[in-house]
Amino acid sequence: MNILKKGTSFLGEVRAELEKVSWSTREEIMGSTVVVIVLTFLIAWFIFMMDYPLSQAVRFLYR
């Protein structure tokens, strides 16, 4: 089997596997994106709310 036949066979198998994939709809992707953005802001806010008082306390202790 030469390199051209191997390449063609590989691409055919790739195509067959891609046809089996369950692709997300646009609405599912948009919903997931909103959830990720909101959770990112909530986690950033939580870390800030924990970090700021602790950093102020450390500054106070090291004056």
pLDDT tens column, 4-15: 899 999 999 999
Rama region for 10: left / alpha / beta (φ>0; ψ in -120 to 50; rest): alpha
Q: What is the pLDDT of residue 1?
A: 65
Q: Is the dihedral of CA 32, 33, 39, 43 positive or negative?
A: positive
The ranges of the chain with pLDDT < 50 are none
Closest by Cα among 28, 30, 10 to 18: 10
Q: What is the pLDDT of residue 3?
A: 86
Q: What is the pLDDT of residue 2?
A: 85
Token duo for residue 41: 């802001």
3-state secondary structure of 20: helix
